[in-house]
Copies of this chain bind each other. A is one copy, B any other.
Amino acid sequence: MTFDSYYAVIMAGGGGTRLWPLSRQARPKQMLTLFGDRSLFQVAVDRLEGLFSPERICVVTVAEQVEGLRAQVPEIPLENYFVEPMPRGTASVVGLAVAALQHRSPDATMVILTADHFIANVDGFRQTLRAAYAVAQRGHLVTLGIAPTFPATGYGYIHIGDALGTFDGMEAYRVEGFKEKPDETLAREFLESGRYAWNSGMFVWRVNAILAEIERQMPVLYRGVERIAAAWEAEGHQPKETIREVWQGLKPQTVDYGIMEGARQVAVLPAHDLGWSDVGSWDALFSVLPLDTAGNAVYRSKHIALESSSSLVFNAGDRERLFVTIGVQNLVVVDTGDVLLVCHKSKAQQVRDIVRLLKESGDTRHL
């Protein structure tokens, strides 16, 4: 089943320094092959099969990444790659997509998707997109929530409000509010209350509904969107110069803070059992990789373990190399050939500090 005027917009402009040394400036997170032999971006497109034809899939990215993404997914038409001249936050990504779709199909509904997340349950994901479409037809801005499975401190949370009813078999709710990444104690309270969902960063809305909120809450962006839409109409193709001029006048802003928190009609669809992870860091990746009998996740490595468990051995270098671990727990070992990272899993967030240190030292070889 497909939908009339339902567009998928994949945000694919990020970097992902917390997966360094695997992710690099020239090899951003969404282009990494972390599962099977398809990159995260390719898998994000694969997930849409049966719901969106390639003509209905759009990609928002930055100029440096267009070529790499196009090479990975040539089936999406070139004109569906929308290019930001420089990153200005997810609110601007949404604005650019809105300008493009306003031009093509003013009555469209769109889903904003991430290019670099993992979803184990693809059928469940597609069901969520169907249900969200139905909710969006009521005029709601729909956030795709994830029913939490552990007290995560690395995700934002959505406070679930009153029930809105059942849509395509899923319960939708009003949103009481958005919560920033909590500390461990608060995360535990959120989990136990049953009234919070993880904020997946994915949204579904009608183009005219989101445009009305942009107009009300972000007038500068709104004027830019209108200007770009007009130029697109006039030029008959992506108006690069106009986008550049508009982008230079925008302040970076996220869609969560810039639009969703202050929006009038916000709904959440808390999805259960999606097996979702933002794969935002090595510990997050570990949590979704298959484990061997000792509880280790071993990626493309010849590995011998003695008294080692709950550890990740990730080999992106020489496949003939032998990895041996003895007496280690909760360790992340990542080998990219030029870099070896050995990191306690609880310190996985600090990988970005290494990237910062390398930048500051001017050592660009490993960035």
Enumerate chain B residues within 8 angstroms of A344, measured Cβ to Cβ. 326-328
| Nearest B residue (CB) for A361 | B304
Q: Which of B324, B326, B339, B354 contacts A306 (CB 8 A)?
A: B354
Q: Are A326 and B304 in contact (CB under 8 A)?
A: no
Complex Cα–Cα for A323 and B339 (A): 6
Q: Are B340 and A321 in contact (CB under 8 A)?
A: yes
Complex Cα–Cα for A364 and B175 (A): 62
**CB 8 Å contact bits of A333-347 with B (1 = contact, 0 = none):** 101011111111011
Q: Which of B306, B347, B358 contacts A347 (CB 8 A)?
A: B306
Enumerate chain B residues within 8 angstroms of A322, measured Cβ to Cβ. 21, 338-340, 366
A163 at the interface (CB under 8 A from B): no
Q: Are B342 and A331 in contact (CB under 8 A)?
A: yes
Q: Indicate whether A340 sits within 8 Å of B346 (C-beta atoms), given known contacts A353-B306, A354-B326.
A: no
A4 at the interface (CB under 8 A from B): no
Q: Indicate whether A321 sits within 8 Å of B342 (C-beta atoms), given known contacts A304-B357, A306-B353, A350-B326.
A: no
Enumerate chain B residues within 8 angstroms of A328, measured Cβ to Cβ. 331, 342-344
Q: Which of B326, B327, B341, B366 contacts A326 (CB 8 A)?
A: B341
Complex Cα–Cα for A177 and B366 (A): 58
Complex Cα–Cα for A328 and B341 (A): 11
Enumerate chain B residues within 8 angstroms of A343, measured Cβ to Cβ. 324-328
A351 at the interface (CB under 8 A from B): yes
Q: Are A327 and B350 in contact (CB under 8 A)?
A: yes
- Residue from A306, A339, A342, A354 with most neighbouring chain B CB atoms (10 Å): A342
Q: Are B354 and A342 in contact (CB under 8 A)?
A: no
Q: Which of B307, B337, B340, B358 contacts A323 (CB 8 A)?
A: B340
A320 at the interface (CB under 8 A from B): yes
Query: Nearest Cβ in chain B — how far from A285, in angstroms?
Result: 15
A interface residues with partner B (beta carbon < 8 Å): 21, 304, 306-307, 320-328, 331, 333, 335, 337-344, 346-348, 350-351, 353-354, 357-358, 366
What are 29 inter-chain pairs, A to B, with CB distance below 8 A? A21-B322, A304-B354, A304-B357, A304-B358, A306-B350, A307-B347, A320-B338, A321-B337, A321-B340, A322-B338, A323-B339, A324-B339, A324-B341, A324-B342, A324-B343, A324-B354, A326-B342, A326-B343, A326-B344, A326-B347, A326-B348, A326-B350, A326-B351, A326-B354, A327-B347, A328-B342, A328-B343, A335-B340, A342-B342
Other A-B pairs beyond A21-B324, A322-B339, A342-B342, 13, CB < 8 Å: A304-B354, A306-B350, A306-B354, A320-B338, A321-B337, A321-B338, A321-B339, A324-B340, A324-B354, A325-B341, A326-B354, A328-B331, A333-B342
